[in-house]
Amino acid sequence: MAELEGLEFGKSDFVLLDEVTMEQFMENLKLRFEKARIYTFIGEVVVSVNPYRHLDIYGKEVIEDYRGRELYENPPHLYAVADAAYKAMKRRAKDTCIVISGESGAGKTEASKYIMQYIAAITNPSQRAEVESVKNVLLKSNCVLEAFGNAKTNRNDNSSRFGKYMDINFNFNGDPTGGHINNYLLEKSRVAQQQEGERNFHSFYQVLRGGSDGLLKSLYLQRDPAEYAYTNQGASITLASNNDSLCHKAVMAALKVIGFTAEEIISIYKILSTILHLGNLQFTSDGEHVVLVGEDTVKHISELTSTEPENTRKALLYRTVATGGGEVIEKGHNEQEASYGRDAFAKALYERLFAWIVGRINCVIQVKDYNPALHGKNTVIGVLDIYGFEIFDNNSFEQFCINYCNEKLQQLFIELILRQEQDEYQREGITWQNIEYFNNQIIVDLVEQPHKGIISVLDEACLTAGKVTDTVCLDSMNKKLGQHPHYTSRKLCPADKTMEFNRDFRIRHYAGDVTYSVEVAYLGLLENVRVRRAGFAYRQPYARFLQRYKMTCEYTWPNHLMSSDQEAVEAIVNQHGFEDDVAYGHTKLFVRTPRTLFTLEQERAALIPILVLFLQKVWRGALARMRCRKIRAIYTIMAYYKCYKVKAHFWEVERRFTNVRNMADYGKSVEWPTPPAALVQFHRITQHLYRRWWARQLIKNIPPSDMAEVRAKVAALSALSGERVDWGYSRAWERDYLAKDSPLTSTNFVRITKELKNKDPYSQVLFSCSVRMLNWFNNTKDRALLITDKHIYRLEPKKHFKVQKRISLDSVVGVSVTSGSDQMVALHTASQDDFLVHLQRGQLNPNQDRVGELVGSLTDHFTRKVRVNQLTGFYCSIFIFLYNYKYLINCIMILLFHSISDQHLCNVHYCSGFRYLILLYV
């Protein structure tokens, strides 16, 4: 710690004193106190001196400085002890306890509050609402307990007048989940009587000075504490407000946060007001009877306690006595007995009120719905805050009990810190300098030993026949304890005038003759320093030490191969060079200075992330290998299953199509099974092959004379299917309609075709039909259209089919038709000398659609003439557009437009853009 605090602040750990004497101990304590260093270490013990002023050493920044740090990493502080207890609880999953002890006014209550605040600040980093609620209740409970259990004394403005032990429960994450409060030895005598300069419990002054006018009126109270016998005994103190008004508001808010209902809160203040009214009751004698003075006060008490005035009066003036024969009688009080009974009633009432408040808080903060199997191990940090040795001008039985409790605490301190330390060294075979210290077990036995101790003597005296007085009790103790070396009284030592005859007795403590106190080098701190200096600051069984620090040594990680754990621990110590700072016991390793342990903890903390990453890597690798094996198994199963599904598909296809050759439709009605995903492409190819086979079976019986028609229909189907509703596929295609439509004209047409065949040799007529022509002037004329495998002819029927125009068939680059039922056809040529004709349906069959026949014949002719990938002359393009006879000229312009722009189109395709082009042109 010298590295953190300069020598001008003294020694931050009493173990570092040059010479362990009372003078040096006190000098170091004084120096640090003058430098505002109120905390000093003795190993894991923190010595605190009350500064009686505010010091800025408890803020959030200071909390962050101590969070998660080792005990000796920062200067001495309460936070260091609190963090060490919390860290030990989390690391080892074991309960820990913080004991706060000291003389009255030393600052124990404030220390317990700071410890609670620190634990609340470092827990629940995720800010879970339920944990924050528990923390809030635990903190607010202090405010309530201080109001009803603390009072101003001559040494302390906020002295705890009760002992408190609080358990704080934590879940496996280290977050508080609840708690429990045990209260001990409430100083109920303070309710009725206080020493000069002291006050009653804070709660009385808070309700008087901080309560609203309406509340005080409902409780029949005056705002001035001097009006009440139980609050006016320290006259100079009652005039000071002591922030009672603000504290009352804080207590009211805390009660609501904890969960007290409005009815419960008003009941609490009714009981407080009842006690104040009880203190103002006066008794006077009326002959043989005692009567109450002030009927109004009795009525107020009755109303506040919900009792009848007569029953209240009877309870205060009479007591119930059981006779030897079992009869119960009522006996009246005298004035002194009535006053004593009134005060006893007030004290008992306040004690029960305080116990109920503590119990009510416990109901709220207790751990609820806890299941270790679901929520993990529940650990506890205990905080003990009990008032220390006291000596007043008039020390009653309560002070005796308080000081006896502190003697037991001193014994515990000696057992854990001093005697147990030396006994362990001897048991483990560690050589060290023995330190003599006083064991106060003899004093504890003086008080509690059965049949011999002071408490047993008091019990026996109370059972003595006849009237039992304090003098009788003192005489009994003098007789039975007169020879005890630590007991004395004025009767046993007549020359000691500091004690009164028949009143005082004294217990001789180890630091000198004191009355319930020690002049008491308190709690053996000097001996603690000597034991810590002579001994070792840390000890641990070899197995546990090895388990915690084995990763810091290459010879012990992950598991050592040595003959014993002790040898493995020696390897760790030797590797770090700590041989001179340790000793080896039979079962434990002893470390002299905390710096050695701190160095080990630092190295361990640095290695933990590396080990975590290594373990994560190994575990992730194991998980990856397991996943890989599972995936491989899955793929193997999938492969066999795919193979099975493929074979099953083949078997099913074979089964369904085995007899298709013998079926009338050659299996067209057979439903294909759904293929597995791996065979989708193969399935499509198989279906295509089947359809080709099925088509072959159908067409192989068609006569050769009908094959031209079939090929033309197939060509038209591929070009027009889905674009025209009816394109004449259901009827026989005659192709040469001019030779068959009209007997009157057919003879002339046949003659002309023979002449043309002689003139322009061609093999066959592809199509002939009567048409109607449209010229630029919107005039129509009847004409004839003849298409051979060489030329296209436009003939004039009225002039014996005279040839008006002839163009080579090879010059045709496209055909345009509409999607409607009209017979409009445009033949596009390379020379842009297009044919725009309207096919006539014929006289015998006026509903025939001949567009499909024309398109099919031309498509089939060019398909058979040239291979598709070598087409250079004819590219058949069919454009679908809206047609209207009234706007025939627009169609002509569109066709002319496409005759120019579509010369390089490949394959048959469709264009829906004519609607846009038509509208644009219009």
Catalytic: 899? no
Instruction: Beginning with the edge strand found earlier in the chain, give each strand of the sheet holding 835-839 in spatial order.
Output: 802-808, 791-796, 780-788, 765-774, 835-839, 824-829, 812-817
Q: Whose CA is closest to 412, among 695, 771, 97? A: 97
List 70, 110, 187, 390, catalytic entry? 390
- State pTM to two decimals: 0.56
Residue 594, burial from CB neighbour count under 10 angstroms (0-12, 13-18, 19+) = buried
The span from the CA of 699 to the CA of 721, in Å, is 20
Specify the DSSP element, H or E, that contains 771.
strand 765-774
The span from the CA of 75 to the CA of 73, in Å, is 7
Cα distances (angstroms) measured from residue 25 to each of 11, 82, 517, 593, 831: 10, 25, 20, 20, 124
Specify the DSSP element, H or E, that contains 81.
helix 78-92
- Cα Rg, the chain, nearest whole Å: 57
Q: Are strands 780-788 and 791-796 parallel, antiparallel or unpaired?
A: antiparallel
Q: Are strands 487-489 and 538-541 parallel, antiparallel or unpaired?
A: unpaired
- Which ranges in 783-887 belong to alpha helices (H)? 851-865
With a cut of 50, which residues of the chain have pLDDT below it? Answer: 1-3, 235, 237-240, 509-512, 514-519, 521-523, 867-922
Catalytic: 877? no
722 is in an annotated binding site: no
List 160, 200, 379, 877, catalytic entry? 160
746 is in an annotated binding site: no
Contacts of residue 584, defined as CB under 8 A and 6 or more positions apart, other chains included, come to 566, 569, 570, 590
List 28, 101, 153, 156, catalytic entry? 156
93 is in an annotated binding site: no
How confident is the model at residue 369, as a pLDDT? 73
912 is in an annotated binding site: no
856 is in an annotated binding site: no
How would you write 508-547 as a 3-class SS string? EECCEEECCCCCCCHHHHHHHHHHHHHCCCEEEEHHHHHH
How confident is the model at residue 597, as a pLDDT? 76
Residue 685, CB half-sphere, CA atoms under 13 Å: how many?
A: 4
List 40, 124, 159, 171, catalytic entry? 159
Catalytic: 390? yes
108 is in an annotated binding site: yes
Q: Max alpha carbon distance in the chain (Å)?
A: 174
Catalytic: 133? no
Q: Whose CA is closest to 769, among 782, 755, 778? A: 782
List 12, 74, 104, 142, catalytic entry? 104
Handedness of CA 403, 409, 411, 413 (dihedral sign): negative
List 10, 43, 210, 388, catalytic entry? 388
What's the first-to-final CA gap in the chain, in angstroms? 100
535 is in an annotated binding site: no
How many of the other CB atoms lie within 10 Å of CB of 225? Answer: 25
* DSSP code at position 418: I
How confident is the model at residue 101, as a pLDDT? 77
331 is in an annotated binding site: no
Residue 609, CB half-sphere, CA atoms under 13 Å: how many?
A: 4
